[in-house]
Amino acid sequence: MFGRRASDMAPGTHYRSERVSAVNGQYFFSTREGTLEGPFFTRVDTEREIALYIRRIQQANAILAFRGR
């Protein structure tokens, strides 16, 4: 995948990787920020939480952008 986040200093190539992992029957997901979120009971729960996490990050970025005007 080719892409650049607004916070990246230089353009680069980013490759998609599996962000969901299972450890002892519990599920986790890793973020671009380097955090490991979880545990969750099912993969479906994990994927739902990923969507919520992305929405929270986007909302936070929108608030920061608004305040920075």
pLDDT, tens digit (0-9, with 9 covering 90-100), for 1-60? 445 566 666 666 655 668 899 999 999 999 988 999 999 999 999 999 999 999 999 999
Predicted pLDDT of residue 1: 44
Predicted pLDDT of residue 67: 87
Q: What is the pTM of this model?
A: 0.71
What band does 64 get if pLDDT is binned at 50, 70 and 90?
Answer: very high
Contact by Cβ (8 Å): 15, 27: no
Instruction: Name 29's Cβ contacts closer than 8 Å, sequence gap at least 6.
Output: 19, 20, 21, 36, 37, 38, 46, 49, 50, 53
Predicted pLDDT of residue 69: 76
